[in-house]
Amino acid sequence: MLSALFHRSAASAADFSHLRQASVELRNVIKQYDAHTVLNGVNLSVEPGEVVTILGPSGSGKSTLIRLINQLESLSGGEIFIDGKPISQLRGAALRQLRSRIGFVFQQFNLYAHLTALSNIALALEYVHGWNKTEAEHRALELLEKVGLAEKANAYAAQLSGGQQQRVAIARALASSPQIILFDEPTSALDPEMIGEVLQVMKNLAHSGITMIVVTHEMHFAREIADRVVFIDGGDILEVAAPEDFFTRPQHPRTQRFLKKVL
Ligand code: ADP
Ligand code: MG
């Protein structure tokens, strides 16, 4: 019954077409932690509105790569350009403005457990973006509708399932109408039966206009939604290909070995 409700509301409310888009370019990106080099000079261009999935073994540098894009980590070398503008030197208000253009969805949903679904979204708009309460709550409800959770607006985050919490987190990431959304293994912390509902929301979002970069271990999902698949290992991008080519004709021996293990 509940799942029927979700499917109906998700199908009718999944219009994300208001979202804008921006390009992302990594040029010779290097990241070191002390003596440990985690990214060895990575180059990647993501077109406005493109959906790119990033695959690779644990510890290969996937999280580091996407955390650099919204400057949750600072670069050790190279540069990242958003819509052609370098971001590494941004500080203060300019950095906050950059971050408001980039949504981020974490593996752990990071909601405030003691706040309602609605407040988790509305408070970000009020305190980070300066919206008034009425506007913020109106917008939050719209976003909850888009992820099929309008009926949970007043439930506390702690009362929601993992899948529902992650859908609220996606709605929150979309609150400031970002041009880019980054996902870092958004379904890895979920029980298997909840993965589908989160992937469905992400599918609705893909090709809505927003630029989307997704680190995932969900191979079928990556194949289905990506314009291009990126394979990273040991801090190097080893392969970038259209999904069909990537999964049926991987070129690099390490990609081939990785796919043998996970498929
Ligand atoms: P992935 O997301 O692909 O699993 P990460 O980007 O999280 O990989 O990590 C890549 C490498 O960087 C790992 O060896 C990890 O231990 C190291 N690393 C990540 N974050 C830090 C940090 N804050 N300090 C030191 N080393 C880190
Ligand atoms: Mg990671």
Distance CA 130, CA 18 (A): 21
Tell me the ligand closest to 108's alpha carbon.
2
Q: Which atom of ligand 1 is nearest to the CA of 232?
A: 3
DSSP category for residue 125:
I
pLDDT band at 14 (very low <50, low <70, confident <90, very high): low
Closest listed residue to residue 71, CA positions, set 110, 43, 99, 47: 99
Q: Which long-range contacts (CB under 8 A, 24 or more apart) does 113-117 make?
A: 113/156, 113/157, 113/158, 114/156, 114/157, 114/158, 115/156, 115/157, 116/153, 116/154, 116/155, 116/156, 116/157, 117/144, 117/149, 117/152, 117/153, 117/154, 117/155, 117/156, 117/157, 117/160, 117/164, 117/168
- Near ion ligand 2, which residues have CB within 5 Å? 63
- Decide whether any atom of ligand 1 lies within 6 Å of the 31 Cβ: no
Q: Which atom of ligand 1 is nearest to the CA of 36?
A: 26
CA 123 to chain centre: 20
The 10 Å CB-count burial string (b at 16+, else e) for 25-38 is bbeebbbeeeeebb
Distance CA 263, CA 261 (A): 6
pLDDT band at 8 (very low <50, low <70, confident <90, very high): very low
Determine which helix (DSSP H) or strand (DSSP E) holds 236, and give its type and residue range: strand 236-241
- Asked if the model's pLDDT at residue 1 lies above 50, the reply is no
Tell me if 164 sits within 8 A of 200, measured CB to CB: no
Here the ipTM equals 0.98
Tell me if 121 sits within 8 A of 144, measured CB to CB: yes
Cβ neighbours of residue 203 under 8 Å, at least 6 residues apart? Answer: 221, 224, 225
Mean pLDDT of the chain: 93
- Decide whether any atom of ligand 1 lies within 6 Å of the 38 Cβ: yes
Nearest-CA residue for atom 15 of ligand 1: 59
Model's pTM, two decimal places?
Answer: 0.93
Cβ neighbours of residue 58 under 8 Å, at least 6 residues apart? Answer: none
pLDDT value of position 13: 46
pLDDT value of position 4: 39
- Find the 62 Cα to ligand 1 centroid distance in Å: 8
Nearest-CA residue for atom 23 of ligand 1: 33
pLDDT tens digit sequence for 201-251: 999 999 889 999 999 999 999 999 999 999 999 999 999 999 999 999 999
- Decide whether any atom of ligand 1 lies within 6 Å of the 59 Cβ: yes
- Find the 62 Cα to ligand 2 centroid distance in Å: 5
pLDDT tens digit sequence for 119-168: 999 998 998 888 999 999 999 999 999 999 999 999 999 999 999 999 99
Overall average pLDDT of the 113-123 stretch: 97
DSSP category for residue 227:
S
Beta strands in 111-235 (DSSP E): 180-184, 211-215, 228-233
135-to-124, 129, 131, 138 alpha-carbon distances in Å? 12, 11, 6, 5
Q: Which atom of ligand 1 is nearest to the CA of 184?
A: 2
